[in-house]
Amino acid sequence: MKKHTNRWRMSRWLVLLLTLALLLAACSSGAGNREQGGEPVTLKVLHWDEQAFNSDYGMLYYALNPNVEFEVVSTSKLQASEIQSSEEYEKKFEQFIQDEKPDILMLNQDQYEKFAADGRLVSLESYLTRDKLDLEGFIPGLVDLMREKGGGELYGLTPHFYSQAIYYNKDLFDRYNISYPTDKMSWEEVLNLAGRFPTDGSDEDRIYGLSLGYSTELFQLGLAIGTTSGLRVVNPADKRISIDSESWVNAFETALRAIRSDTLYNNENTSFSGSYEDYLLQNPFVSGKVAMAIDDLYLMQRIREAANIIPDKIVKNWDLVTIPVDPANPDYTNDFSFSNIFAIHAESPNRDAAWEFIRYIHSDDYARVKSKAYNTGQLPVRTKYIQDEEGRNMAAFYALKPSNNNLYAGFEDLPQEFFMQYYTIGTEEMKAVVDDQKTVAEALASMQTRLQAALDEAIANQEANGAAGGNEASASVESGMVVMPAESGEAEAGAAGEDSAE
């Protein structure tokens, strides 16, 4: 592990050197410096962390615009305070903005939608027309989604997004004479394809059809399949559980067949000790043990790093396709998130200077420079800079449009006590299915009753204690809590123009 630690220390110096190189590249390009000869201005920016802001945005902009200074007001003060509910947090967040009066706001999707509706943001439409900012190069559906959330106008933009894709090992598909996966496959098609690979051999030597990047427990896989179809477990609006529908039965039965086929790689062993090379090879796709893996950009970075260190031991011939989709809405995905939405505060006295900053961090020049240092798992919104030197299908990360069917809306208002029971109950019931003690339908009916009782009790306790929800509940949602169709027990997957908040 000492070798591993030293490597990480070294990587921090490499990041610093790379940042300096990027600054020089940005300066030599002369981009984004409209303000360079103007009057000095200090822009007050709302961000979660001053150091992170300067690393991601500020240092580049300082180099190009020496007349501009940033004063970062950090929301970490709010996050560190004793806030009992998400409702209380939002009230303090709004008061924080009122007190600090930042020029530039960094918002999540819910905040962006609310602030736009309340008239607290500056429309960017006139600036876009004046400066002819190229939005055509953005990932499909993003600008439409932002306008929809802004009531028809654009009030903010985000320079990065997060999504996943299916990685596949061409050599394994060729070895077993199996057709490659394609874009816009359903979960059933992906799992059936994975099931065509042999399951014989020891755990050390055998090949697996699919790695999910998380536990292969029935409860989690069933939730993932159901979420793709727009299903929900609970409707936060009326606090009712709805998991015993036919749609949920189908989702969990599909998951059960996959688990019993023994084609899924078990990711439960996450402990590690050994050299850094061993750490890289611990990933089953990197080491060539699985035919397909659903993962994000981090896996690609891990493959590339392994290729520099142990090129003879890793997967070589691989490519990408889109993650599983809902066959009823094959052009949209819920597995897409972004939270760094930059907008101009309506009370800002420095609107034009604030716009120049937002314009730059969404420009072609910024995307070009930052594309050399994307090591955060996020991708630039400009597709021109989502590239692979060997011509792999990087479009798999952005070909699907973000759905506006926010499955997690309102979850932050549910009691944290409920989330603590949620996973325990779901795991217990689905373990009974795997152990042949219950059918899927029986387990879901039991979950319906137990989860509703847990939610009712949590709400009663919450009201008795005078607290509502909690920020930790929101964190639980973001880590994989999923849910029922918005209006009925059947799936209403994202229709045209429909997202998933981070």
Inform me whether the pLDDT recorded for 469 exceeds 60.
no
pLDDT at 12: 41
- CA torsion through residues 384, 387, 390, 392, sign: negative
pLDDT at 380: 93
Residues 115-120 have a mean pLDDT of 98
Query: Quick one: pLDDT band at residue 213, thresholds 50, 70, 90?
Result: confident
Inform me whether the pLDDT recorded for 479 exceeds 60.
no
Rg (alpha carbons) of the chain, rounded to whole number: 24
> What is the tens place of the pLDDT at every residue in 400-427?
999 887 777 777 778 888 988 999 999 9
Inform me whether the pLDDT recorded for 486 exceeds 70.
no
Beta pairing, strands 160-163 & 379-380: antiparallel
Q: Which of 501, 502, 495 is nearest to 230 (CA)?
A: 495
**DSSP letter string over 333-354?**
ES-EE---EEEEBTT-S-HHHH
Residues 298-307 have a mean pLDDT of 94
Decide if 314 contacts 81 (C-beta within 8 A): no
Residue type at position 206: R
CB 444: neighbour CB atoms within 10 A?
A: 23
pLDDT at 214: 73
Please give the angle made by the CA atoms of 177, 180 and 185, to the nearest 5 degrees: 135
Inform me whether the pLDDT recorded for 308 exceeds 60.
yes
Collapsing DSSP states into helix, strand and coil, what is residue 245?
Answer: coil
Whole-number mean pLDDT of the chain? 85
What percentage of residues in the chain have a pLDDT greater than 70? 82
| Distance in angstroms (rounded) separating the CA atoms of residues 460 and 240 | 14
Q: HSE (CB half, 13 Å, CA atoms) of 448?
A: 15
| Distance in angstroms (rounded) separating the CA atoms of residues 330 and 183 | 9
Inform me whether the pLDDT recorded for 339 exceeds 60.
yes
> What is the tens place of the pLDDT at every residue in 245-260?
999 999 999 999 999 9
Residue type at position 151: G
Beta pairing, strands 165-169 & 401-402: unpaired
Level-2 CATH architecture, domain 2-157+336-402:
3-Layer(aba) Sandwich (3.40)
| Distance in angstroms (rounded) separating the CA atoms of residues 86 and 91 | 9
| Distance in angstroms (rounded) separating the CA atoms of residues 401 and 445 | 34
Query: Quick one: pLDDT band at residue 16, thresholds 50, 70, 90?
Result: very low
Collapsing DSSP states into helix, strand and coil, what is residue 66?
Answer: coil
Q: State the DSSP H helix or E strand holding residue 428, giving kind and residue range, or none if neither.
A: helix 416-434
Decide if 377 contacts 43 (C-beta within 8 A): no
Inform me whether the pLDDT recorded for 184 exceeds 90.
yes
Query: Quick one: pLDDT band at residue 82, thresholds 50, 70, 90?
Result: low
- CA–chain centroid gap for 172, Å, is 29
Residues 221-234 have a mean pLDDT of 94
Q: At what angle do helices 187-194 and 246-260 cross, to 10 degrees?
A: 10
For residue 72, what are the contacts with CB-CB under 8 A and spacing of at least 6? 45, 47, 49, 50, 53, 54, 58
Q: At what angle do helices 142-149 and 109-117 cross, to 10 degrees?
A: 50
pLDDT at 494: 35
Level-2 CATH architecture, domain 165-214+264-327:
3-Layer(aba) Sandwich (3.40)
pLDDT at 381: 95
**What DSSP designation does 274 have?**
S
pLDDT at 294: 97
Query: Quick one: pLDDT band at residue 272, thresholds 50, 70, 90?
Result: low
The structure tokens listed for 216 are 């292969």
> What is the tens place of the pLDDT at every residue in 23-65?
444 444 444 545 445 689 999 999 999 999 999 999 999 999 9
Q: Which residue has the higher pLDDT, 7 or 63?
A: 63
Lowest average pLDDT, out of 35-49, 98-112, 131-145, goes to 35-49
| Distance in angstroms (rounded) separating the CA atoms of residues 280 and 264 | 20
pLDDT at 375: 63
Query: Quick one: pLDDT band at residue 323, thresholds 50, 70, 90?
Result: very high
Residues 221-228 have a mean pLDDT of 95
Query: Quick one: pLDDT band at residue 376, thresholds 50, 70, 90?
Result: low
| Distance in angstroms (rounded) separating the CA atoms of residues 139 and 137 | 7
Residues 433-442 have a mean pLDDT of 98
Q: Which of 356, 206, 376, 220 is nearest to 288 (CA)?
A: 206
Inform me whether the pLDDT recorded for 364 exceeds 50.
yes
Collapsing DSSP states into helix, strand and coil, what is residue 376?
Answer: coil
pLDDT at 120: 98
pLDDT at 29: 46
Inform me whether the pLDDT recorded for 9 exceeds 60.
no
Beta pairing, strands 318-321 & 160-163: unpaired
For residue 283, what are the contacts with CB-CB under 8 A and spacing of at least 6? 299, 302
Decide if 382 contacts 367 (C-beta within 8 A): yes
Q: Which residue has the higher pLDDT, 473 or 112?
A: 112
Query: Quick one: pLDDT band at residue 95, thresholds 50, 70, 90?
Result: very high
Q: Look at the block and give the residue holding tokens 């690393």.
A: 55
Inform me whether the pLDDT recorded for 168 exceeds 90.
yes
Task: List the chain domain ranges.
Answer: 2-157+336-402, 165-214+264-327, 217-257+407-502
CB 178: neighbour CB atoms within 10 A?
A: 15
The structure tokens listed for 343 are 């907008």
CB 185: neighbour CB atoms within 10 A?
A: 20
Q: Which of 172, 103, 107, 56 is nearest to 356 (CA)?
A: 103
pLDDT at 462: 83
pLDDT at 21: 47
The structure tokens listed for 214 are 């998380």
